[in-house]
Amino acid sequence: MPKKRENRGRHKGDKGKTGTIQCDNCGRIVPADKAICVTRWHSPVDPQLARELEKKGAIIPRYKITKCYCISCAVHLGIVKVRPEHERKRRGLY
């Protein structure tokens, strides 16, 4: 049976079995190497207030937050784009 993707849709390579994680959006259980993880900086202070406080010399803490999504949620949220038809792999008879 032909493979749809060379990497089988994962970042696993030849590692064997990988663990699972839960999607932060819908709660689906996804293999860790298949999930789309996004790291963003988050500040607990409102941006406008933070600018004023930084002008006065205050140090505002910022934290890295990593969220992992399943493929469906990543496409829905616009993190991963659906490729146009001419960029997709041709299937069937050639």
pLDDT at 94: 57
How far is residue 15 from each of residues 7, 19, 24, 90, measured CA to CA in Å? 12, 11, 25, 28
pLDDT at 92: 66
pLDDT at 63: 95
Q: Provide block-wise average pLDDT over 10 residues at a time, the chain (94 residues).
A: 80 89 96 95 94 94 96 95 84 62
For the chain, the domains span 20-80
What's the one-letter identity of residue 55? K
**Dihedral in degrees, nearest 10, Cα atoms 22, 28, 30, 36:** -80
pLDDT at 15: 85
Q: How far apart are CA 89 and CA 15, in angstroms?
A: 25
pTM: 0.75
Q: Which CATH architecture has domain 20-80?
A: 2-Layer Sandwich (3.30)
